[in-house]
Amino acid sequence: MLPFILKRVFQSLLVLIITGAIAFSMFTFVGDPIDNMLGQERTMEDVERLRAQLGLDQPIPVQYVKFLGEAVQGNFGVSYRQGREVSEIIKERAPATLELAALSAVFAIVVGIALGVFTAIRRDGFVANFIMSSSLIGVSLPTFLIGILLIYLFSVELGWLPSFGRGEVVRVGWWSTGFLTETGLKALILPSITLGLYQMTLIMRLVRSEMLEVLRQDYIRFARARGLSERVINFRHALKNTMVPVITVIGLQLGAIIAFAIITETVFQWPGLGLLFINAIQFVDIPVMAAYLMMISVMFVVINLLVDILYAFIDPRLRVSAK
Amino acid sequence: MKTSTVLFTVAALLSTSAMVNAETLRWARAGDALTLDPHSQNEGPSHTMRHQMYEPLIIRDTDGNFVPTLATDWAPSADNPNVWVFNLREGVKFHDGADFTAEDVVFSFERAKQPNSDMKELIGSITEVRAVSDYVVEIETDGPNPILPSNLTNLFMMDKDWTEANNTVNVQDFEGGEITFATTNVNGTGAYTLVSREPDVKTVMARNEDYWGRNEFPMEVSEIVYTPIQNAATRVAALLSGEVDFLQDMPVQDLARVSEADGLVVKQAPQNRVIFFGMNQGADDIEADNVEGANPLADVRVRKAMSMAINRDAIQKVVMRGQSQPAGMIAPPFVNGWTAEMDGESVTDVEGAKALMADAGYEDGFSIRLDCPNDRYINDEAICQAAVGMLGQIGVTVNLDAIPKAQHFPKITDGATDFYMLGWGVPTYDSEYVFNFLVHGRESDIGTWNGTGYDNDEMDAKIKSLASNTDLEARNADIASIWRTVQDEQLYIPIHHQVLNWGMADNVGIEVDPEDQPRVKYFTMK
């Protein structure tokens, strides 16, 4: 078992280093940060001085190795745009994204499973068919459009919910939370629906098809024959057995929710990591871009690593082949 | 009984909150200030934020005229042509209660000249600032400098004692990520004080009841809540839904929508920015074209023909939806040296242009690459696309390369483009600024944005002499003659002056500032 884990960990590190290298080589195409940092009155000397000061006059591989060396010690450098430590900024922005992602995940899971079970049980009902076909819209509409539509309906036309920002936040230590105030909670509603809608429809369709599969199985028929109530059959016996693949998908999608919060955060001016990243790209804020991309790749690599290891525990065949 | 008490309380609360709301200005724009340090980062949104809380000696009004602020009057010294004398306003207090005196002015200028300061270039000619008395300051420059006051309108005054006591005498090292007391705290003389600030999220300011101009200006806004909202659609939605009272950076496509909405108005004014194309005429051969061994742009007839092919009225109508003023020279209308006559010199004449092309030996045309930004100016890429079609009419086949500004501008400064779009604002309101950057031959500290390869020693000498010519009439004559050459040589192809739009609730009263610098002390709230 141990050699298997070690091998996987080693592979993950390799993936991280390669991802970082690709990211770094792309930064040259994003543009020249110096241009944004100095005003139009700058002289060529200013440009040269700043370039040398930031180490941008060195070749990309050298810059990358330097970045890795510093990053290992937890130092991600200083944002070109905000002039503050990147780690500070990320710490400040993380709560907004994590709260949004958590609420979106809860929304996706609860609503997704409920609708999935419903559409599976009432397979031919009018309501179930309506839900199924409208869920196609949820899958095919791009996130920014859904966000804008929700803003138009609930903020501009009805005036019920705020169109941007987090509302009032309360500080708990270094963590800032929007869960403790009314405006904070209101501000969470539209962005989390926007962010979680895709995952919600995904989970719903998955639960439905798994459930239909399970309902056809013999033990369900036997349960019916025993005279168990529909509720017990559906929720205790059928749903439980559909959950194994659903949980796997949920785990993998959680990473996607955090990573793809970028668009939702831009539409709702949500002060989280995604918005930070978009700002960084426009300003060519290399330290922030590098730190964010590394963070996201670490997150994905860790999730995949855990999944691999869990599979190995569950399925002994994987362990054997690893030897 | 109980219910009615509760109802009454709720009603009372609602009415008070409505009263408070009426005086709060909720303000949004695309970007946030980068720092609060008054002498770091010479940049629009940062200055806007500072202008509410700090003050310079003088500011400009919406017509570009100087307005006395911390200085009441100023004039060149009678004894020494290199010296300007500024009389300071008496009785001004900083937010912490300290008096504003000449000592603070001297200190602030010294601070703004530090290496980390972003304002040092603007006051580079100043050699010494002296306090003559508590309320008189002399500023000496390295030669006569007739337009010195123009460079002081964003130079903010700090309190010497406060800055020293809080260990923030040095301007922050922005690139090094330094956070100092002055980057997060404010002690200015301005009409508003800082209440709280979260960078990129929200900044709250409150009215300074002890402001020297409390009775002179409306100052009807008691609280400012400033929120940057980056996404254009969200920004407009926030205004439409009433969550924001005042909006800068209005997207052009939403102007009609906002002005038709109940309770909202859009106000506009010509902006201090002109959009134009530059052409590399200096090189013997250029890379971006298909002509071997020659540079078609070196021929003034080709440059004239290209300018004549551009239909500026069509661009104004179709691309800009009316939100621009066609331009004939590359200076905004309120700049010293601008004339209506020269600004009207661009005429569309496709037949005449074809004839000029034939004269120059290019009747079959040529092809060339146009470099264009796609995220800097209003509809920048669309303007370039329109130009592609118009230049095609005279046989110039244009390949458009539209890229983000962070990649576009280095091309101009590095000389990697032969045909490009550029926009220019003139913070000093004087033509010398335009000439220094766009007409003077390119050197390390002058002509830095001149990508045309134009380098004329006689012109360079004339441009350099403007800086110290105190005879304003002779100086203006020189400016006019330089412009004449720029126009005759068709150094650039002017397109239009941008128009600036501010959206606001109809109870907000303010006129648009051509430099996009709202000062809340002038706002009225009905």
Q: What is the CA radius of gyration of chain B?
A: 25
Chain B interface mutation, best of A41, A90, A176, A267, highest count of B Cβ atoms under 10 Å: A41
CA dihedral sign of residues B85, B116, B431, B443: positive
> Does A284 lie at the interface with B, CB-CB under 8 angstroms?
yes
| Closest C-alpha among A71, A83, A66, A245 to residue B36 | A83
Residue B85 phi, psi (nearest 5): -110, 125
| pLDDT over 90 at A247, yes or no | no
Q: How far apart are CA A91 and CA A70, in angstroms?
A: 18
Whether residue B237 and residue A267 make contact (CB cut-off 8 A), yes or no, is: no
Model confidence pLDDT, tens digit, residues B33-61: 888 999 988 888 899 999 999 999 999 98
Show Cβ contacts of residue B350 under 8 Å, excluding neighbours closer than 6 positions: B308, B309, B393, B394
pLDDT at B7: 46
- According to DSSP, the residues that pair with B59 across neighbouring strands are B67
> Does B179 lie at the interface with A, CB-CB under 8 angstroms?
yes
Is residue A177 one of the residues assigned to a domain?
yes
Asked whether the beta carbons of B69 and B54 are under 8 A apart, the reply is no
Angle, alpha carbons B480-B486-B489 (nearest 5°): 135
Q: What letter does residue B512 receive in the DSSP assignment? A: P
Average pLDDT value for chain A: 84
Q: What letter does residue B336 receive in the DSSP assignment? A: B
Is residue A36 one of the residues assigned to a domain?
no
Q: How far apart are CA B277 and CA B516, in angstroms?
A: 23
Instruction: Give how far the C-alpha of residue A130 lies from the chain's centroid of Cα atoms, to the nearest Å.
Output: 29
Model confidence pLDDT, tens digit, residues B210-262: 999 999 999 999 999 999 988 888 899 999 989 999 999 888 888 888 988 88
| Closest C-alpha among B296, B451, B326, B319 to residue B384 | B319
Greater model confidence, A11 or A1? A11
Which residue matches tokens 């290399």? A286
pLDDT at A319: 58
Regions of chain B with pLDDT less than 70: 1-22
Model confidence pLDDT, tens digit, residues A52-78: 888 888 888 888 888 888 888 878 888
Amino acid at B93: K
| pLDDT over 90 at A7, yes or no | no
Give percent of chain B with pLDDT exceeding 70: 96
Scanning every residue of chain A, which has its alpha carbon at the shortest distance from the alpha carbon of B437? Answer: A41
Is residue A287 one of the residues assigned to a domain?
yes
Domain that holds residue A251: 86-318
Whether residue A31 and residue B404 make contact (CB cut-off 8 A), yes or no, is: yes
Asked whether the beta carbons of A91 and A181 are under 8 A apart, the reply is no
Model confidence pLDDT, tens digit, residues B281-323: 988 888 888 888 889 999 999 999 999 999 999 999 999 888 8
Nearest C-alpha of chain B: how many angstroms from A305? 35
Amino acid at A217: Q
pLDDT at B424: 92
Q: Which residues of A touch B234 (CB under 8 A)?
A: 148, 151, 163-164, 267-269
pLDDT band at A321 (very low <50, low <70, confident <90, very high): low
pLDDT at A320: 52
**Among B35, B406, B445, beta carbon nearest to A43:** B445
Whether residue B201 and residue A271 make contact (CB cut-off 8 A), yes or no, is: yes
pLDDT at B386: 95
Q: Is B348 helix (H, G, I), strand (E, B) or coil?
A: coil
Instruction: Give the domain CATH number at A269.
Output: 1.10.3720.10
pLDDT at A317: 63
Model confidence pLDDT, tens digit, residues A120-174: 888 888 888 888 888 887 778 888 888 989 998 998 888 899 888 888 888 888 8
> Does A221 lie at the interface with B, CB-CB under 8 angstroms?
no
Question: What is the total count of domains within chain A?
Answer: 1
Whether residue B375 and residue A282 make contact (CB cut-off 8 A), yes or no, is: yes
Is residue A65 one of the residues assigned to a domain?
no
Scanning every residue of chain A, which has its alpha carbon at the shortest distance from the alpha carbon of B43? Answer: A39
Residue B254: C-alpha distances to residues B279, B320, B323, B502, B511 (Å): 33, 12, 12, 12, 20
**The two three-digit tokens of residue B18, written as one number:** 């409505």
In chain A, which among 9-38 make CB contacts under 8 A with chain B? 29-37
Q: How far apart are CA B178 and CA B196, in angstroms?
A: 20
Is residue A35 one of the residues assigned to a domain?
no
Residue B474: C-alpha distances to residues A100, B336, B477, B478 (Å): 65, 13, 5, 6
Pairing of strands B24-29, B246-247: parallel
Which residue matches tokens 């800032």? A176
| pLDDT over 60 at A206, yes or no | yes
- According to DSSP, the residues that pair with B194 across neighbouring strands are B205
Q: Which residues of B touch A279 (CB under 8 A)?
A: 200, 230
Is residue A250 one of the residues assigned to a domain?
yes
Nearest C-alpha of chain B: how many angstroms from A281? 10
**Among A82, A85, A151, beta carbon nearest to B34:** A82
CA dihedral sign of residues B238, B194, B210, B61: negative
Is residue A71 one of the residues assigned to a domain?
no
Give percent of chain A with pLDDT exceeding 70: 96
Amino acid at A81: R
Whether residue A283 and residue B198 make contact (CB cut-off 8 A), yes or no, is: no
pLDDT at B214: 92
Complex-level ipTM: 0.72
> Does B183 lie at the interface with A, CB-CB under 8 angstroms?
yes
> Does B243 lie at the interface with A, CB-CB under 8 angstroms?
yes
Angle, alpha carbons B293-B296-B301 (nearest 5°): 145
Q: Which residues of B touch A81 (CB under 8 A)?
A: 34
Q: Which residues of B touch A162 (CB under 8 A)?
A: 243
Asked whether the beta carbons of A273 and A98 are under 8 A apart, the reply is no
Compute how many other C-beta atoms are within 10 angstroms of the C-beta atom of residue A318: 14
Average pLDDT value for chain B: 89
